Structure 1
Amino acid sequence: MQPSIIIADDHPLMLRGLHDFLKSKGYNILGSAKDGKEAYNLIVKHKPEIAILDIRMPYLTGLEVAEECLKNEIPTKIILITFDKGEELYDKAKELNIFGYILKEFAIEEIELCIANVINNKPHFSEEIALYLNSTSNTHKPQTLNNLTKTELKVLALIAQNQTAIEIGNALCVSSRTIEKHKSNIIKKLNLESKHNSLSLYAKENEQFLN
């Protein structure tokens, strides 16, 4: 027997699409809501096995609905669907015993597997979110940046913003020739190849460490 489900999303197309898709697969949809307050009221009323909630909704967010369910000991298992890959939301979801956390762009592809796992008390978190968080948390500041002076770091930050030597010179109140000299020193200190765009590529890749 298929599990009973409540769906909530403030985007009508997403709500309709998910509702119709799950209905066509034979799931028992007890109701759908356009905001968090309505979703919570439906959960209280019907006590579905699963609630599939958008994170960002009016009145109550998906996380706030999950928090209320936890506080009031409602056993409904929550699956969140979102465009957010942020670590903070992900951690908060885990804190609130969220059973499923999937990205909207993969919702239709992943939802059945997610529901199957959740019914078997196995949490399901989108692989894409885990990969994204791993890639961001594994991004470390290159040690060679410590070799640069404050002025060289400023030059590199402006290069990352696609500014020319003349524009950078104007910003730092020096000549463009001085900026070219800085660029040459930076390339040496960072052990970069002397290709015309190697410095620009490096600056863009490491822009987060230049401010």
Structure 2
Amino acid sequence: MKSSIIIADDHPLMLRGLNDFLKSKGYNILASAKDGKEAYNLIVKHQPEIAILDIRMPYLTGLEVAEECLKNEIETKIILITFDKGEELYDKAQDLNIFGYILKEFAIEEIENCITSVIKNKPYFSEEIALYLNSNSNIQKPQSLNNLTKAEVRVLSLIAKNRTAIEIGDELSVSSRTVEKHKSNIIKKLNLESKHNSLSLFAKENEQFLD
């Protein structure tokens, strides 16, 4: 059986579309909710592996549900779906250790890749969001990138493309253990926090400098 999932969205068509699509792909949909309060109660009750939440819902937003889960040490991994590309919401999602952040217009196309990535404890953020954020801010190349070796830059580039350690190892003809060592060195050289998604988020935000 594939991962256990709860879905919440206050738009009935979106809720039904995601529910039907994921069921057709063999995922175990435990329940669905039409608002944030109901979603949070279902998460507490069922403790699903993954919760797919609309950001803007009545009673509690997707971000507020994620905040409650973090506060109460609920291990359910949160995926947010939204029409909003705003930087402020994206930053909040990062702060709350959100595992996935995808745009509604691409939800059906991206949700399987997102879930696959999240199951592997690897955050997934829509490429469209990263591109939008990059185009709407004057991002300069971080000086710390100059401290990386060519191999480390290549590893970082593949992380930005949501590749796993095994996939990166295959592409670079090295072991996954070597890849993990590279990742550890990169985190130290870039002086990143040791959050589970800090390296992935840094890679996505600076992908344009990794070619």
TM-score (normalizing by structure 1): 0.65
Give how far 1:138 is off: 2.7
Does residue 97 of structure 1 match 2:120?
no
- In the alignment, the residues of structure 2 paired with residue 131 and residue 12 of structure 1 have an alpha-carbon distance, to the nearest angstrom, of 29
Match of 1:130 in 2: 130
Question: Gaps spanning 5+ residues in structure 2: where?
Answer: 140-211
Match of 2:38 in 1: 38
Does residue 114 of structure 1 match 2:117?
no
Partner amino acid, structure 2, of 1:80: L
- In the alignment, the residues of structure 2 paired with residue 116 and residue 44 of structure 1 have an alpha-carbon distance, to the nearest angstrom, of 23
Give how far 1:81 is off: 0.2
Partner amino acid, structure 2, of 1:103: L
Give how far 1:52 is off: 0.0
SS in 2 for 1:32: strand
Give how far 1:67 is off: 0.1
The CA deviation string for residues 93-134 of structure 1, in whole angstroms up to 9 with x for no partner, is 000000000000000000000000000000000000000000
- In the alignment, the residues of structure 1 paired with residue 112 and residue 94 of structure 2 have an alpha-carbon distance, to the nearest angstrom, of 20
Select the structure of larger CA radius of gyration.
1
Question: Gaps spanning 5+ residues in structure 1: where?
Answer: 140-211
- In the alignment, the residues of structure 1 paired with residue 113 and residue 133 of structure 2 have an alpha-carbon distance, to the nearest angstrom, of 21
Residues 1-211 of structure 1: pairs in structure 2 closer than 5 A? 1-138=1-138
- In the alignment, the residues of structure 2 paired with residue 130 and residue 19 of structure 1 have an alpha-carbon distance, to the nearest angstrom, of 26
Q: How many residues align?
A: 140
Using the aligned pairs only, state the percent identity: 89
SS in 2 for 1:137: coil
SS in 1 for 2:45: helix
- In the alignment, the residues of structure 2 paired with residue 66 and residue 138 of structure 1 have an alpha-carbon distance, to the nearest angstrom, of 30
Partner amino acid, structure 1, of 2:57: M
Partner amino acid, structure 1, of 2:115: I
Partner amino acid, structure 2, of 1:116: T
Partner amino acid, structure 1, of 2:113: L
- Which runs of structure 1 show a deviation greater than 3 angstroms over 4 or more consecutive aligned residues? none
- In the alignment, the residues of structure 2 paired with residue 94 and residue 81 of structure 1 have an alpha-carbon distance, to the nearest angstrom, of 14
